[in-house]
Amino acid sequence: MNNIEEYKSLVAFHPGYYIAEIIEDMGITQAEFATRLGTNTKTISYLVNGQANITNDLAKKLSVMMGTGEDVWLNLQSSYDHKLIEIQKEKDFDEQIRLARLIDYKFFVDNVGLSATKDTKEKITNLCKYFKISDLRIMLKPDFLVNYRTGINEVNEKNIVNSRAWLQTAINYSQKIETKAYDAEKLKSYLPEIRSMTVQTPDVFLPRIRQIFAECGVAFVLLPNLKNSDINGAVKWMNENRVVLAMNNRRLDADIFWFSLFHEIKHVLQKKTKTTFISYSENEMIEVNRQLENDADVFATNYLISPSAFKKFSPSKYTSDDEIIAFAKSIGIHPGIVAGRMQHEGIIPPNRCSELKEKYLI
């Protein structure tokens, strides 16, 4: 018989367990009990073995035969069903503990107001509610929030779980941002102004950027870094008229910030509404369409510093900081962007121009 379900200290007794005891006490066979009840042997066999549930008809017949109320049998079934849910939830919690330990819960306490707790089960409950999922294991499903192929044989679960946790946090934050309907032409018209902001301080350019994006149908979110998420930025379309552009405030060198911003802007302009773009800092994941990623890189590189201007500048390893500053001023961008471009192309080593590469504090 399989009419008892046990897990840890939890025990669920199927109504068939009690039916079996009654049949034994009566000293009769299941076939005779079925005849007396006005049903068939198969039904009683299934019931006794926990393979069938108490129906309204069976509850009625049992109440008459045993001299009880119908609710006695229906409550037995209900109690069993509820206990099964409790057992399954306990099993689910135990299987989610490993994933919960991969997530920096303190991040969500500090940044989104989740209740501080040391109880793992409570952490899982709070995270699932915040992420709007029924189980943390959903974070590992290939089609949850993102759509990419991995370029490595062994996928790093820690990065996947945290990147999606970060992205869902960005989506949750974006719900507080009011935007107009998406307007690609309006966004393109603002690009020169956005580029000109590279020489401003964050307290000046951030409010204006948020305003511009909102007017164009883009909810701009700048989030703190979630450990092990390894995300620089992300673009996710919520519908045809609204898109979320999220960026991480980790490693906020001026050149990285502006390159990442224009990279994500290009993804917005590509308007692939069924594709979520995530820019990983370590290149561990390969996006669905590498060409779209390459296009975004080229766009960010060339819009910040045009190919013709860079060619005319013709920098070398001997180019001085003063020459970099003068060139940056002549084209109206932050000198750190020029230095970053030179480092990226291997013209100068990464330890050069540290004074030019301003770090933003946001």
| 156-178 average pLDDT score | 94
Distance CA 77, CA 16 (A): 9
At 122, the amino acid letter reads: E
Q: Could you give the domains of the chain?
A: 4-98 (1.10.260.40), 101-301 (no CATH), 305-362 (no CATH)
pLDDT of 201 higher than 60 = yes
The pLDDT value recorded for residue 81 is 96
Distance CA 106, CA 126 (A): 12
314 Rama sector, left if φ>0, alpha if ψ -120 to 50, beta otherwise: left
The pLDDT value recorded for residue 321 is 94
Q: What is the pLDDT of residues 94-137, one digit of tens each?
A: 999 999 999 999 999 999 999 999 999 999 999 999 999 999 99
Distance CA 66, CA 221 (A): 65
Q: What is the pLDDT of residues 259-268, one digit of tens each?
A: 999 999 999 9
At 254, the amino acid letter reads: A
The pLDDT value recorded for residue 356 is 87
Those residues with Cβ within 8 angstroms of residue 110's Cβ, 6 or more apart along the chain or in another chain: none
Instruction: Of 48-52, 147-151, 341-345, give the lowest mean pLDDT range.
Output: 147-151
Distance CA 233, CA 242 (A): 17
The pLDDT value recorded for residue 167 is 94
Q: How many other CB atoms are found less than 10 A from the CB of residue 91?
A: 13
Q: Residue 74's closest CA among 52, 59, 57?
A: 59
| Phi, psi of 244, deg, nearest 5 | -100, 125
Distance of CA 157 to the CA centre of its chain: 13
The pLDDT value recorded for residue 288 is 54
Q: What is the pLDDT of residues 214-260, one digit of tens each?
A: 999 999 999 999 998 888 889 999 999 999 999 988 767 899 999 99
Q: What is the pLDDT of residues 135-164, one digit of tens each?
A: 999 999 988 887 654 444 445 889 889 999
The pLDDT value recorded for residue 80 is 96
High-pLDDT (> 70) share of the chain, %: 94
State whether the Cα torsion 111-116-119-122 is positive or negative: negative
pLDDT of 1 higher than 80 = no
pLDDT of 43 higher than 70 = yes
Instruction: Note whether 338 and 328 are within 8 A (CB).
Output: yes
